[in-house]
Structure formats: C-alpha cells, structure tokens
A = this chain, B = another copy of it.
Amino acid sequence: MEQRTKVDLKAPYLILIGEEDDPTYAKTGFGIVQWRPDIVAGQLRFPGCTVDLGVPDMTVKEAARQGVGSLVIGVAPVGGAVPQQWWDLMEEAAWAGLDVVCGLHLKLAEHPAIVAAAGKSGARLIDVRVPPPGLPVGTGIKRRGKRVLMVGSDCAIGKKYSALALDQAMREVGMNSTFRATGQTGIMIAGEGIPIDAVVADFVSGAAEVLSPDNDDDHWDVIEGQGSLFHPGYSAVSLGLLHGSQPDAFVVCHDATRTTVSGWEHYGLPSIEECIETHVQMGRRTNPEIRCVGISVNTSALSKEERTTYLAELSARTGLPCVDPLIDGCGEIVRYIRQHIAEESTES
C-alpha cells in the first residue's frame, strides 16, 4: 500500500551513457552497477564513448526484446544541454514500452513526441526528483522494526555510500535489512524511494514515515540521510527526516579534512561530539532509544598512517566504531549494532 506514495521503478535497467568520456559524469551509472548489478541488463553507448560500466552493450530494441523495464539516464550531459540523440533515444524507448527514468533537469513531460509515445505504449516517464503525490503529515506513531539513519556534519559527505555499505554489511552477516533511498541516485539504486528534499515542508516527516513503514521486529531499514541539522540552507529536511524516521540508531558521516560547510565556507562544521549530542537530543522526541552506533569517515585525503591514527583516536574519544566505508566496509558498525541493539528486546 505504501508503494503508492513512493517513486517506484521497473527493473531491469538499460543505462544510457551516451558519448561520455569522463567517468566522473557517469557516477550514477557506476553507482547502480556497483550496488545493484542484479538489476542492470545493459548499457547504451554511442560510438566514441570511452566510459564503460562493464555490463553488456545493448540497443533499445534488444532491451525491449529481453524484457528490460526502464531506460535509466545514468550520466549528466556535458555542459547541461541534452543532445538530440538522447531525445531520439528516449522517444524510441518510450515507443518500445520502456519506462524512461531520469534525475536531471529534463522536462520529459514537455516533449510531446515522448509523451505521445509513452501514452501509446503505456510506458511511464519518471522524474526521480519529483515526490509522489498524496504524502501524509507525520503521525509520530511508533512503527515495528528497527531503523538506522545516516546523518552528517555536512551535506555531500558520504551518507548515501555509507547507507549502501552498511546495508550490504548487514546482509552479509544474514541480517534482514533494506536500503531506503531519499535522493535521486539512491532511488535509482534501490528501485524506489522518495526525494525527500523536494517534499513540501509540512510533509517531510510524513514522507519519512512512508519510506520506512512497519516491518518485522528483526528488520532494519538503513536510511539514506539528506542535508545536515547544522546546515544553514538544508536543516529543515534533516530534522523532518530524523523525526519521521524514528531511528533506533544513527551513523555520523564526516570528512576527515573538511572544516567548513561545503559551499557555505562562512560556517564551520560542528564537532563530531556536538553532532552526536544534537541528534540524540532532537531524535529522542520520536524515539527515546536513539543512539549513535558509529562514525563513517571519508579519509581519502589522508595517508594510510594518518588514517589509522585518525580513526583510532576518534574511536577512543567516542567509544564508537569509526570506519572509512570505502576501505574498511561497515562490518565494525554492524558488530556494534548487534551488540548494543539487536540483542535487546524489540518490544519498545
């Protein structure tokens, strides 16, 4: 039932890469392949494209024949303008009955040829930046199951990656977990979700409630965070997400060498301790059991030795597992969670 208030995508995907020759512009495509190889049927590349996701090349015709569900735009167009070739391809996909899924500032609905094609075939044109209609106001009513939310000392600090890595680590040890996406790339990876920062303020908590509904007592929702409680522009979305998620646990995401809010350099970052305290204080309003279960640090700017020292010191200071998820994975955080939360009674 909650599906109706989420963006939900039809797998498997054909990922459009186009003529891209810089892998950094194709990070959405790479992210989908990295985390969900099971839902990727192939990639569509134009002649001269040097980026390779390492999955089969495929035309729209072949994709349609193989039952592919969606053409997913996995790349940002260089310079922002969408080449005519893309439009033609999206129209072809829509004719062939593939949903067209996109998180760019394309207005698919403003292209009559694509709209007409989709209308004939029954394909959907899905902008993953647009929240579903009918989101409710948050009730604050306790739901069954466990939840862990990624929070950050800043935006763009590894919350999505940390959530995906933690979800993977949980499933590797046999836990029952689901990654819950709150941003466009996350939604493409999960195949569903809600772009929470595009939701009208009054409905943010309600959207977060819909995103992680009632579940089995031993189930964990691993929720991608957005923004930061400390961000002068984006704190509203973070508090609504915190209150609506009712997390039992949270992971602080941080960058070892960042000292100011990215793009808002007149603001310093909070200390990790302040970050933990503030999230506990605000989060206990809807879940009195909330606690920090780990710190996920981007240490890419540190040498191997510096990294080891940094994480060990941080762990000693906070008593929490501190990892760089890209290097260490999130196994340590999973162990901490199982020790401190999962073995408690789930009746709370």
Contacts and interface: CB of A to CB of B under 8 A. Distances in A.
Interface of A: 137-141, 196-202, 204-206, 227, 229-230, 232-240, 243-244, 261, 264, 266-267, 278, 281-282, 285-286
Q: Which 5 A-B pairs have the closest CB atoms?
A: A140-B232, A236-B240, A138-B233, A201-B237, A204-B236
B239 A236 contact: yes
A206 B197 CA distance: 14
Contacts of A233: 137-140, 202, 205-206
A196 B200 CA distance: 9
Contacts of A239: 229, 235-236, 238-239
A266 B239 CA distance: 20
A232 B201 contact: no
Contacts of A229: 239, 282
A205 B201 CA distance: 11
A204 B281 CA distance: 22
B202 A200 contact: no
Contacts of A139: 232-233, 264
Nearest to A285: B230
Contacts of A267: 140, 285
A199 B199 CA distance: 9
B204 A140 contact: no
A42 B306 CA distance: 74
Most B CB contacts (10 A, CB to CB) among A201, A266, A282 go to A201
Nearest to A208: B236
A21 to B, nearest CB: 32
A212 to B, nearest CB: 15
Contact of A232 (B202, B238, B285): B285
